[in-house]
Amino acid sequence: MESSPDIGHLQAILLVGGQGTRLRPLTLGTPKPLLPTAGVPFLAHQLARAKSFGVERIVFATSYRASMFREAFGDGSAFGLRLEYMTEETPLGTGGAIRNAAQALTCGPDDPVLVLNGDILSGHDIHAQVRLHQSRGAAVTLHLTEVEDPSRFGCVPTDENGRVTAFLEKTPYPVTNRINAGCYVFRRSVIDTIPEGRVVSVERETFPGLIEAGELVLGYIETAYWLDVGTPAAYIQGSRDLVLGRLRSPAMPGPCGEYLALPDSIVSPEAKVSGGSVVGHGAIVEAGATVSGSILLDGCVVGPGATVIDSVVGPGARVEGGAVLSDVVVGDNAVVGARNELLAGARLWPGVVLPESSVRFSSDV
């Protein structure tokens, strides 16, 4: 007889061990999953959404700056969740991290366990994914999404019954536009078959091994909103989409709109802020400034007549009058002097001061 999932008792593992190197300098002092996104730490959106689907208990699989996660979320009571924290002394890969974190699970061997990646924004139906997993008696069920350019990802072909047939590495000629979207439902006992205490990749070892052994690995295909926020451009896009309401989140600290101004921020009535921007706690946008599609973190200042487009300005940083930023990351407490023009992926490291200038920069400084 087929069983149906008791969603109300669903437990989850949240993978948050990565160093976020592609997002430096923002991640030099803060793990990627804790970066402010639409006014709250990125993981707040995942936790609130998991709670909305009935998840009650989540185990954090931590490694890089592990103590900061407990400092941020504590026991989880603010989200109506029970949170546990398991730390890898040395990074163990996705599979090894799941195996290590599973020590803190309390569910039975046949129960479903939700596994979430800490750098994914997704609007897909977790209930539907778990129901499919349980109704088919799968070993693992993966959320698959469709992308325009699958050559940038490994692709995941399935047969007519939804069974995953292979995990293919990046190739210029992908056989499908469906990719691994980074949300899995495991049968608890399957996690116990992952080797303990060593580096294991679920994509390269666990999933292919299950397929080869004849286990049922299913693809749950849904093309709802999905975004990997691993790069500065994607991080900004995710925050922008949340503020504009393109993806709904129970963790939003204010209503959706053209921009989100957090408490104690100051936006001059003569400034123009739009495009899903966030103005952080204590941040200041002065008269004549233009801010579009950007993240202004706590305590930063955008001076008079400055322009900030599709960029991140770090905590305590200053963008002086007349400066122009487009597709730029400014580190903590850095200063962009008046009339500088930073473009095309430039990254200003924490504490760096650019004197007043009219020079264009388009690289790390």
Would you name the residues annotated as active-site residues? 170
Q: How far apart are CA 261 and CA 151, in angstroms?
A: 38
**Cis-peptide, bond into residue 25, ω within 30° of zero:** yes
Q: How far apart are CA 50 and CA 254, in angstroms?
A: 20
Q: How far apart are CA 314 and CA 336, in angstroms?
A: 11
* Of 192, 225, 169, residue with least CA distance to 107: 192
Residue 285 near residue 268 (C-beta atoms within 8 A): yes
Place of tokens 């002065």: 286
Q: How far apart are CA 133 and CA 127, in angstroms?
A: 10
User: Parallel, antiparallel, or unpaired: how do β-strands 226-228 and 120-122 relate?
Assistant: antiparallel
Kindly tell me the number of DSSP H helices and DSSP E strands found in the chain.
Answer: 7, 29
Q: How far apart are CA 166 and CA 158, in angstroms?
A: 8
Q: How far apart are CA 305 and CA 183, in angstroms?
A: 44
Amino acid at 72: A
